[in-house]
């Protein structure tokens, strides 16, 4: 990553792992990318389609929060559930009155409340099961990680009528001797942006509870590394305290990065060169075929038939390869299903997880509903539960069967609609 002198612009090259989620890390406000991406009005950068393999992203960004306001106006970012978290609302009103209605003093009072109360940072917080979860967190458990503190602060700020939104991204990373960073899910972080003085301004309540998490990374917080690696007993990250082993791990990661970077770059150049050669071959083939048709029509017809059969075989092999790739893991399986649902007008809303999307539309889908619920449940189990290889393999088989049930139901629904199904009948029923 490089910073343009005096320009407040960062240039970065990111090697991204496969991911069914659309969001891309942008380091503040994205200004330009090396490939076509989608930029949302809230400042989020999204890929146009799920990525099933590692990819390179060339990014130019400002490092600052997005400057634009929400088209829905201030009201959208001040919404709160009705009659939820009354104790939190009362606390917000108290802090607002004590700050004399001054927004800057109010935000400082919130940060001071987190810093003075007996809150603690942990990756293994107690479960919050009540309807008023923010109340339960602020006044009872008082233990959690960045998401807990960011959502609680956003609730307090919105209660005072100040626009606020929660932002999820990454903070920290492991710096390698060569100057690049490895950023893992381990470095995920949440903070808030507050609309103040005509701009979105960052506020991180975690800094008041665990400043070492902000300054030194998650590994600096007592017990956080063990919590993150609890389901990975053989992770190479456990070797960080052994000097020689850690150096070996860093060298291996650097070698892997350089290899993947070279392979992806080579694939792009090879694809461009292949398309150029293909154009030349097609032009030469057309000239040859035209000459043969004039001199020996029967030979040209035989060659043309062979070419058609060859292209049909190639198309079949490509289709077979795409199908095998589609069923490779749970992310690509569910991503494929979501693509089918988008074409039926049942796509996800912005910020919605795959499981939440499937559960939301299940009641609208008639006979497909139970299969969608099964897909969501099995996907979450595969994505988050600590499973052995045998359990994971069996889970993926169950997921494939559930997705095929959904596809079958959707196909039946489309056929009924095409041939004049009953009025008002769900297309997926």
Q: Tokens 């809303």, residue?
A: 349
- Cα dihedral 87, 91, 92, 94 sign: positive
CA gap 398, 375 in Å, rounded: 8
DSSP string over 131-152: S-HHHHIIIII-EE-HHHHHHH
The DSSP bridge pattern shows strands 45-46 and 55-61 to be unpaired
Q: For 338, phi and psi rounded to 5 degrees?
A: -65, -35
CA gap 429, 406 in Å, rounded: 10
Q: Round the CA-based radius of gyration of the chain to a whole number and report it.
A: 27
Known catalytic residues are 146, 189, 204
DSSP string over 335-404: HHHHHHHHHTT-PPPTT--HHHHHHHHGGGSGGGHHHHHHHHHHHHHHHHS---HHHHHHHHHHHHHHHH
Contact 87, 142 (CB under 8 A): no
CA gap 246, 236 in Å, rounded: 8
Q: CA-CA-CA-CA torsion for 124, 127, 131, 135, nearest 10 degrees?
A: -50
CA gap 46, 43 in Å, rounded: 10
Strand intervals (E) in 185-286: 188-196, 199-203
Nearest to 253 by CA among 168, 348, 355, 184: 184
Q: Tokens 């970065």, residue?
A: 12
Task: Return the structure tokens found at 19.
Answer: 């991911």
């Amino acid at each position: 990553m490089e910073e343009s002198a005096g320009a407040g612009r960062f240039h970065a090259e990111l090697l991204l792992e496969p991911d069914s989620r659309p969001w891309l890390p942008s380091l503040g406000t994205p200004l330009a990318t090396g490939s076509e991406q989608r930029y949302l009005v809230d400042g989020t950068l999204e890929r146009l389609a799920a990525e099933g393999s590692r990819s390179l992203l060339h990014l130019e960004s400002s490092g600052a929060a997005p400057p634009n306001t929400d088209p829905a106006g201030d009201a959208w970012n001040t919404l709160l559930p009705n009659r939820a978290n009354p104790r939190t609302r009362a606390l917000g009103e108290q802090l607002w009155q004590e700050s004399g209605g001054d927004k800057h003093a109010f935000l400082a009072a919130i940060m001071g409340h987190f810093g003075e109360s007996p809150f603690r940072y942990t990756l293994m917080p107690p479960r919050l099961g009540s309807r008023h979860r923010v109340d339960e967190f602020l006044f009872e458990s008082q233990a959690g990680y960045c998401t807990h503190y960011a959502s609680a602060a956003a609730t307090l700020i919105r209660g005072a009528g100040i626009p606020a939104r929660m932002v999820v991204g990454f903070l920290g990373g492991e710096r390698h001797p060569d100057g690049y960073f490895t950023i893992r899910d381990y470095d995920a972080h949440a903070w808030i942006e507050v609309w103040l003085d005509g701009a979105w301004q960052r506020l991180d309540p975690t800094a008041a509870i665990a400043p070492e998490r902000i300054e030194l990374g998650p590994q600096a917080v007592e017990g956080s590394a063990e919590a993150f690696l609890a389901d990975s007993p053989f992770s190479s990250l456990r070797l960080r305290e052994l000097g020689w082993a850690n150096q070996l791990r860093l060298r291996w990661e650097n070698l892997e990065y350089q290899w993947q970077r070279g392979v992806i770059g080579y694939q792009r150049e090879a694809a461009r060169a292949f398309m150029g050669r293909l154009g030349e071959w097609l032009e030469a083939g057309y000239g040859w075929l035209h000459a043969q048709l004039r001199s020996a029509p029967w030979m040209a017809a035989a060659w043309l038939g062979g070419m058609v059969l060859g292209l049909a075989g190639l198309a079949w092999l490509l289709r077979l390869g795409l199908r095998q790739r589609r069923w490779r893991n749970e992310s690509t399986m569910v991503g494929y299903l979501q693509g089918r649902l988008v074409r039926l007008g049942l796509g996800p809303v912005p910020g919605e997880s795959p499981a939440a999307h499937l559960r939301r539309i299940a009641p609208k889908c008639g006979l497909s509903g139970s299969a969608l619920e099964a897909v969501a449940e099995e996907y979450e189990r595969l994505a988050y539960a600590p499973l052995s290889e045998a359990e994971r393999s069996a889970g993926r088989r169950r997921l494939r069967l559930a997705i095929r049930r959904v596809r079958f139901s959707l196909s039946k629904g489309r056929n009924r609609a095409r041939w004049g199904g009953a009025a008002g009948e769900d297309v997926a029923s």
